[in-house]
Structure 1
C-alpha cells in the first residue's frame, strides 16, 4: 500500500520512470489509482460536487476538499488544508501543523469528543488523519469496555425439547405426532447483541483491516478478542436509527461520532455500489464556517449565534417565496438599548492587504451576496462582516471599512487567526473587532 500526502489545490499525476519525488504540492501515483480518481471525479461532477479538476490527460488538480481517499489498488492519499506557507518550515513541520489544524477543525465541526491530554498527545499529529480517527475510536471503545457494555433483552423463537418462556400453541398443535416432544417456544434472552454494540463491532472490524499503526493494531486485536460474542451489523443505516440515548447509555455518547465517522465514510456525494475504502472528504469552507461559529459562541455570552440562518427569500412568485438567502452566521443581541443584529460570512480564501489594485482578492459575487444579506436581513441598518483566514503579514488586520452606495450599511473584512485561543490576546482582539457595534 502506497501513502501520499498532499494539500489543497495540489496536482496529482501518473508516475513514470524518472519522475520527480512526490511532494505535498505534487504527487505521482500509479496509473490504476489515477484512473480510479478520474472515475470518482466523473461521479462527483454528476452530482454537482467538485473535488478534482482535470488539468490534462495525466494530471488532476485538487479543490477545497480535505481528508483521505483510498483506492482499490491500496493507494491512500491524505489531503491537508493549505494554510502554512512553505517558507515557514520544512515539509514535515508543515504537515504536522496542517494535520493539527485539520484535527481541531474536524473536532469542532463534527462535534467529536476529542481531548488532548498533554505533551504526550502531540505525537498523534504525526499520524495520518485516518490513524488519528482510529486512535480516538479505539480509546473510546477501550473506556467503554472497562465501564461495561450494555446488554438488552432480545426476543428469540426456537424449537426446544423443554418449555421455556411462552409456548406457541397454534404452531404446536399443527405439528405431526412424531414431533410432539418438540416445543416451539418464544422467550427473551439477555445478551450483548444490540444495535449500538453491533455498529461498534462493525467499525472495529474495519479498523483491524485498515490500521498500520502498531499500537492501534495491538489494541484493536485485544478488543476484538474481548468482544467476540458481538455480531456485526447487517444493516448499518437501520442500526444507527435504533441507536438509543439516555441515562443508561451515557457511556456510548462519546464513541458514537467516531463510529459514524468510520462507518459513514464521509464523501461529497453518495457512491453506493462503488469502492470507497476508508474514504473521508470534507469541504474546507464548511469546516472553517463551523470553526469560526464555535469560536464566537465559546468566547462571549451576550450575542445569540445561529449558523445557516435562513428566514428570508429574495423573490415572490404569487404568494410563493423563492430564492432563499442563507448567511453563514447570524448574530443577534437584545438589550435595554434595543436590538442589535449582525450577519457574517466566512470565506476560506487568502486575501492580500498589500494588493496594489485595491481589491485585495475580493470577489464581486461575494460583495453582491453581502449586499443582499444587508438588505433582506438587516434593512441596511447594521454591519455585515466577512471573515477570512489570517496570514502572517499579508492579512493580519481588518481592511478599511467599505460603505455600500445604497443605504447606510457598512461592510467590514476581518482576519481570523486559526491558531488563536478564546482567552488569549489575539482572541480578545478579534472579538473586539467583531462585537464593536455601530449603528450605521
Structure 2
C-alpha cells in the first residue's frame, strides 16, 4: 500500500521528483489515470475532483479527506491554512476538531478505504447517512434466511428430537421436542441494523431523521435486536447475495460504537470521504460563533431575505451572506473565505491577496441587509502571515468592512471584529 500525504490544491505528477512535499507528490500512472477518470465522472454532475494541467500534472481541488485508488495508492489531503505548514499531525488534529463540530455537510464519496474514527457524541450527519443507506437497503429488499428452531409444541412439525423426547419427564408426554427451519429476517445483519435503528430513533432530534427512522422501524419491527453485537458483526456475510447490505455496514458500526468518521488514514473501512473545506470552515465558524456571541444576539446562517434588484415587479438575484447577526437594533453581516492572506502584501498592487469581487459582494450585502449603515466582517483563517484584523475598509462614512482572522485552534474571532466586544471574552470561548 502506497501512501501519499498532500494538502489542498497540491500538484500530483507521474514524473520522478527529487523531493516530495505537501504541495507536490509523485503518484503511479494507474493512480493518475484513475483520478482523471473519477474527476470526469464527477464533472458530469457539476462537481470536480482534480484539474488536469497537462499529460503528467494535475492539481487537486479544495477538498480534504482520503481516497484510495484501485491500484492501492492512498491519497490523504490535509487543510492548507495550518500553522507549521509541514506539520502533518497538527493538521490532522485541527481537521478532527473542525469535523467534530460541523459534520452536517455534503461529502464527496468514491471507493472504499480505511478511515480513522474518534469517539464523539453521534451527530445528525452520521445518523442521516445511516438512515439513507438503510432506506435504500429496505427498498431493495431485506434478506431472509432459514434458521433452525428447537422448541416444544403440542404438534409435530419438522423433525422429532427422539433423545430429548425420551427424557421427557412424566406429565409432559403430550409435548413434542421438535426441530424445524423457519424462513424469516432474524439474521445477524438485520439484528444489527435493527439495534442501530432503535438507537437512532431514541436520540435523533432532526425532524427529517426522526421521520425516516420511525418509518423504517415499521419495516424492521419483526426483527429482534442483537444480544451479542460482536458475534453478529463477525457473522455478517459479504457474499454476492448480500452486496446491497455492504454500504450500510460501516454506518451501522459507527452508530453502535458511537464513533465519528474522520477523513484521514485509520481503521474504519468505509466509503472514501472528501469534505469541502470552504463549507467545513463556514460551519466551524458558525458553531464557534454560537458559543461566543452574547445570549441576546441572534445568529442567522445563510440569510436569504434580500435581493439585489427587481425587474417588472419580480425580485432578481438573491443575496445570501454566510451569517447575519442581530442584537437589538444592531446588525452585522459576516462572510467567510477559506483563503490565506498576507499582511505584508499591503501595497496597491497586491492588496493583501483580497479579491475585488468579494468586496463588491459585501458592499451589496451592506446596502440590502444593513441599509447602507453598519459593519461588515470578512472572515479569513488566522495564519502566520495574518495575525490581526486589517485596518478598516471604508465604503462611506456609515458603512465599513472589517477583514478579521479566525483562530482555528482556539475557535475564536478577533476580539475587536464586532461592535459588541463583551460577548467575546475568554470565558465565553
Shorter chain as denominator, the TM-score bin is 0.5 to 0.7
Which residue, 410, 417, 420 being the options, matches 1:433? 417
Aligned to 1:227: 233
Aligned residues: 328
Helix, strand or coil for the counterpart of 1:132? strand
What do residues 173-223 of structure 1 show as CA deviations (whole Å, max 9, x unaligned)? xxxxxxxxxx9x9999798626455789xxxxxxxxxxxxxxxxxxxxx97
Helix, strand or coil for the counterpart of 2:89? helix
CA distance in 2, matches of 1:155, 1:400: 65
CA distance in 2, matches of 1:330, 1:29: 44
CA distance in 2, matches of 1:256, 1:84: 25
CA distance in 2, matches of 1:225, 1:158: 18
Which residue, 404, 408, 415 being the options, matches 1:414? 404
Query: Could you say what the CA RMSD is over the residues aligned between the two structures, in angstroms?
Result: 4.5
CA distance in 1, matches of 2:143, 2:2: 47
Aligned to 1:355: 345
What do residues 139-159 of structure 1 show as CA deviations (whole Å, max 9, x unaligned)? 99xxxxxxxxxxxxx999999
Helix, strand or coil for the counterpart of 1:79? strand
Aligned to 1:70: 68
Structure with the greater relative contact order (CA < 8 A, sep ≥ 6): 1 or 2? 2
Once the 2 structures are TM-superposed, how far is the Cα of residue 238 of structure 1 from its aligned partner? 11
What do residues 6-29 of structure 1 show as CA deviations (whole Å, max 9, x unaligned)? 01121100144xx42432221111
CA distance in 2, matches of 1:418, 1:381: 30
Once the 2 structures are TM-superposed, how far is the Cα of residue 79 of structure 1 from its aligned partner? 0.5
CA distance in 2, matches of 1:305, 1:190: 48
Larger fraction in helix: 1
| TM-score when normalising by structure 2 | 0.64
Larger fraction in strand: 2
Helix, strand or coil for the counterpart of 1:433? coil
| TM-score when normalising by structure 1 | 0.62
- 1:41-190 aligned at under 5 Å gives the runs 41-84=39-82, 88=84, 91=86, 94-110=87-103, 130-133=114-117, 136=119
Aligned to 1:6: 6
- 1:383-398 aligned at under 5 Å gives the runs 383-392=375-384, 394-398=385-389
Q: Does the 8 Å contact 2:114/2:270 carry over to 1?
A: no
CA distance in 1, matches of 2:146, 2:272: 41
**Change in 2 beyond 3 A, CA 1:387/1:55:** same
Q: Does 1:255 align with 2:258?
A: yes
Unmatched tracts of structure 2, length 5 or more: 106-112, 124-141, 154-179, 199-227, 422-429
Which residue, 300, 303, 307 being the options, matches 2:301? 307
Which residue, 298, 306, 325 being the options, matches 2:319? 325
